[in-house]
Homo-oligomer: A and B are copies of this chain.
């Protein structure tokens, strides 16, 4: 599966049921949210400026998109889980199904980040992102066109210890908004 196809399959509105396992103290957190994934034009100003900030030619971008999420966690019911970021895949021209993913705002830290992605033989999208004080690993795959799963690990910066492991079941919302 190409990155283009993977992003295309991901477009739309998803109802996400996510469990986070905080491993050091065996805590379960449950998060329910709505995620919108929308294609952006390669000419979008935000896409161009994100590419330029990494000194990457914007014409190398494939299927840039915006992800917006809004939900509720049972950890702190007053805290709204809410955010939005722009993601820009930059395929590696020399290796199939591998490349960089630029992001204007990361998950683990609210700063711009660049991750390395690859898509495995069995069509799992794998993303590794290294931050200053942490590393994140995500695996996303489809069970069918309307159901995708996402496993996210937050690791210590060395990458050996896993602090949080989370699992999301994401069901396509067919009823629209």
Residues of chain A touching chain B, judged by Cβ–Cβ distance below 8 Å, are: 15, 17, 19, 21, 23, 26, 28, 30, 32, 120-122, 124, 126, 143-144, 147, 149, 151, 153, 160, 162, 165, 167, 169, 171
Contacts and interface: CB of A to CB of B under 8 A. Distances in A.
Given A120-B122, A151-B167, 12 more contacts: A15-B26, A17-B21, A17-B28, A19-B30, A28-B28, A120-B120, A120-B121, A121-B121, A143-B165, A149-B151, A165-B169, A167-B167
Can you list the 5 inter-chain pairs with the closest CB atoms, starting with the nearest? A167-B167, A19-B19, A28-B30, A21-B169, A165-B169
A71 B30 CA distance: 20
Describe A's contact surface by its main secondary structure: strand
